[in-house]
Structure 1
Amino acid sequence: MFSLSSWKHLRIPFSFYLLPVFMFALSLSLDLNIIRFLLVFVVLHLFLYPSSNGYNSYFDKDEGSIGGLKKPPKVKKDLYYLSLLFFLVSILLAALMNVTFAVMVLVYGLVSMAYSHPSIRLKKRPYISWIVAGFFQGCFTFCMAYAGLGGLGFEVLLSPSVYIPGILTSILLWGSYPLTQVYQHEEDAKRGDQTLSLKLGIKGTFVFSSIWFLLGGMAFAWYFLNENQGWAFYGFLMAMLPVVLYFYTWFWFVKKDESKYANYDWAMWMNKISAISLNIFFLWYFLKNTQILEI
């Protein structure tokens, strides 16, 4: 019914890179339930994120590499309907949990559509798109996952114990997000999209991201130490070590030759190392913080 190329554009495996936000929310959830855990995971990572990927791919119609697809197949019309189908399924599954979770899934999906839809196309607005993408993929997703995991209402958005760790995830995403755009300058400029990375330039993107990574590290350090979790602070430093080493190695090569090293492969390895390191850390943090192995 749907073409193979359209299924590829959903980029379901790419959801792995956003898994740390879910794992952090899981680590702080007070009421763990296996059914809610599975449903929230499926809604976000198997339907909502792929829906967003496919919808944005349909309107971007990229000919060059995109996140998760080095050589994306040509976009077909059925991708539009497949992405909407996945979005509808994510809302219906979320509604099985509670109204709050379903509404938040709806809001996330609509905002992601605004990122690429030609009538709004936030992608043309470098600073607004950067703020929106970092906030909704970070803090809002954290609150959404927390609400779904705990069967809670909109009060999670006003609870400091929820939105503060959520903001921490946004800070890291505000640092990493421009790096995902460094290899797309030519294609973005051709479409008339003014991404933040295009605005900053390649070297400027690395300097900008390094500042936000430093802020993110300081914010997480403050959070863990404020919670009297020195063990988590040191664990976080260990998890970030390979990420920082790779980042500055990449930056060193980029300063030598932008055209050669500011490319898809280097950017995807940055994503992979970050996701693997943070997923391992937050899995360990989840096991320690919930003491689930001691139950």
Structure 2
Amino acid sequence: MLKQSTIQLLRFPFSFFLMPVFWFALLFVKTIHWENVLQLFIIIHVLLYPASNAYNSYMDKDTESIGGVAKPMLPTKQLFYVSFIMDVLAVLWAFWLSTTVGIGICIYVCFSRLYSYRGIRLKKFPIIGFLTVVFNQGGLIFFTVYVAATGESIVTFPIMGAVISILLIGGFYPITQVYQHEADKADGVTTISMLLGVRGTFLFCMFMYMLAFLCMAYYFISIGAAYVFIVIQLFFLPVLVNFFYWLYCVWKDSAQANFKQTMRMNWIAAIFTNVAFIFILILQQFG
């Protein structure tokens, strides 16, 4: 029987925040193998991400609010075993889909462990930790989804899509750390957000998203699909309004960079980004 703390620390809702990269990768595939996509969706969002969350929580033993959880419970040994089993299932299932997909998922698991494991703990290094996250949750996941969706082991890979995914995660990741500076410092961790400061974190994320949008504009206009970029911008308007309002509040009072406001920003961004990419995907495949 799973303990309540184990279920909580798997943090399934957090998978929703990372889901846009999955849908975005599908926008680059003309003929999608939907059976593969459905299986990989479960592998990534039901097994892989929750297992990574669980292992990170097991190592950190957080007492302050973390991504998606206001009051985390203390982890037990069961959490470690559950995360291990979920990782094994994710890797085996991924290899069953294809060798390339399996390798991609295996690489993700390895770096996830290196990121959190107390003996190595890449997360305590601001630049290395940042690059580990954005390249894995951005570029690697994009590549893995693209390969699975095409149904081929070796494909002509759209590098611009991976670059945009990396930039999108680069704009999302630091903002999730902005309220955790004290807790991270006490744990011996220096995050990219701590390095940038509260205001610097907002400016950095704004810069990363600006680069992502510029790359989107260049790519979709160059292939004669400017409408895709326009639709994305329309869906992003509520996200931008909320972001700049929050930025204004933080500029006046840094205490506004708290858990509640961060989660509000994450939910708004995830909802509208997911809906935008799914809407465009429907237009491309069924419109």
- How many angstroms does 1:96 deviate by? 2.1
Q: Secondary structure at the match of 1:12?
A: coil
- Residue 198 of structure 1 corresponds to 194
Q: Secondary structure at the match of 1:6?
A: helix
TM-score, normalised to structure 2, is 0.96
Distance 2:168 2:162 in 1: 10
- Residue 66 of structure 2 corresponds to 66
- How many angstroms does 1:160 deviate by? 4.4
Q: Structure 2: state its 5+ residue gaps.
A: none
Equivalent residue runs for 1:110-259 within 5 Å: 110-153=110-153, 155-156=154-155, 159-161=156-158, 163-259=159-255
CA contact (8 A) 2:34 2:149 kept: no
Distance 1:179 1:9 in 2: 20
Distance 1:7 1:151 in 2: 33
Q: Structure 1: state its 5+ residue gaps.
A: none
Distance 2:166 2:264 in 1: 20
TM-score, normalised to structure 1, is 0.94
Distance 2:86 2:250 in 1: 38
- Residue 274 of structure 1 corresponds to 269
- How many angstroms does 1:289 deviate by? 2.0
Distance 1:118 1:12 in 2: 23
CA contact (8 A) 1:27 1:287 kept: no
- Which stretch of structure 1 is more off in the superposition, 212-221 or 186-195? 212-221
Distance 1:139 1:248 in 2: 27
- Residue 83 of structure 2 corresponds to 83
- Residue 109 of structure 2 corresponds to 109
Q: Deviations over 1:249-286 (max 9, x none)?
A: 11111111112x11111111111111111111111111
CA contact (8 A) 1:19 1:279 kept: yes
Q: How many residues align?
A: 287
- How many angstroms does 1:22 deviate by? 0.8
Distance 1:37 1:176 in 2: 24
Matched residue type, 1:244? L
CA contact (8 A) 2:178 2:257 kept: yes
- How many angstroms does 1:172 deviate by? 1.5
Poorly superposed stretches of 4+, deviation over 4 Å: none
Distance 1:130 1:95 in 2: 27
Q: Secondary structure at the match of 1:28?
A: coil
- How many angstroms does 1:82 deviate by? 0.6
- Residue 285 of structure 1 corresponds to 280
Distance 1:26 1:174 in 2: 20
Q: Deviations over 1:213-254 (max 9, x none)?
A: 211111111111111112112111112211111111111111
Q: Deviations over 1:54-77 (max 9, x none)?
A: 011110111111111111111111
Distance 1:84 1:151 in 2: 28
Distance 1:13 1:269 in 2: 13
Identity of aligned residues (%): 37
- Residue 11 of structure 1 corresponds to 11
Q: Deviations over 1:137-196 (max 9, x none)?
A: 11110001111222222x34xx342x2211101111111211000110010000110001
Q: Deviations over 1:94-115 (max 9, x none)?
A: 1221111111111101111111
Distance 1:38 1:160 in 2: 21
Q: Secondary structure at the match of 1:52?
A: helix
Distance 1:268 1:250 in 2: 12
